[in-house]
Amino acid sequence: MNTQAALPNWAYAYGGPQSEGIIRKAPDDFIVNEIQSFELSGVGEHAFLLIEKCGENTEFVARALARFAGVRQRDVSYAGLKDRHARTTQWFSVWLPGKPDPDWAELNSDSIKILQAKRHSRKLKRGSLAGNQFILCIQEWQGDKAVLEQQLQAIKEQGVPNYFGEQRFGRSGNNIARALALFAGEKISRNQRGMYLSAARSYLFNHIVSARVADKSWNHAMAGDALMFDDSHSFFQAEVLDESIVQRVAQLELHPTAVLWGKGESQVSGEIALLEQKTIQQFDDLAQGLIAFGLEQDRRALRSHVKELQWNFIDDNCLELSFSLNAGCYATAVLREIVRV
Q: Is the pLDDT of residue 2 over 50?
A: no
Pick the residue with more confidence: 83 or 76? 76
- Catalytic annotation present for 83: yes
Contact 2, 177 (CB under 8 A): no
Q: Is the pLDDT of residue 45 over 50?
A: yes
Contact 209, 161 (CB under 8 A): yes
- Average of pLDDT values for 107-134? 96
Q: Is the pLDDT of residue 1 over 80?
A: no
Contact 49, 119 (CB under 8 A): no
Q: Is the pLDDT of residue 5 over 50?
A: no
Per-residue confidence band for 44, with pLDDT thresholds at 50, 70 and 90: very high
Give the DSSP H/E element, type plus range, for residue 213: helix 190-214
168: CB partners within 8 A, 6+ apart:
175, 198, 199, 202
The whole-number pLDDT of residue 259 equals 98
Q: Is the pLDDT of residue 73 over 60?
A: yes
Q: Quick one: which of 224, 293, 300 has its CA closest to 262?
A: 293
Torsion of CA 154, 7, 22, 316, to 10 degrees: -30
Which of the following is catalytic: 28, 29, 83, 315?
83
Q: What is the mean pLDDT of the chain?
A: 95
- Average of pLDDT values for 7-12? 94
Q: What is the pTM of this model?
A: 0.93
Query: Dihedral of CA 179/182/187/192: which sign?
Result: positive
- Model confidence pLDDT, tens digit, residues 282-329: 999 999 999 999 999 999 999 999 999 999 999 888 999 999 999 999
Q: Is the pLDDT of residue 3 over 50?
A: no
Domains of the chain (ranges; CATH) run: 38-127 (3.30.2350.20), 166-304 (3.30.2340.10)
Q: Is the pLDDT of residue 176 over 60?
A: yes
Query: Dihedral of CA 160/163/168/173: which sign?
Result: negative
Per-residue confidence band for 6, with pLDDT thresholds at 50, 70 and 90: low
Give CA–CA dist 257/194, Å, rounded. 23
- Model confidence pLDDT, tens digit, residues 187-217: 999 889 999 999 999 999 999 999 999 999 9
Contact 3, 173 (CB under 8 A): yes
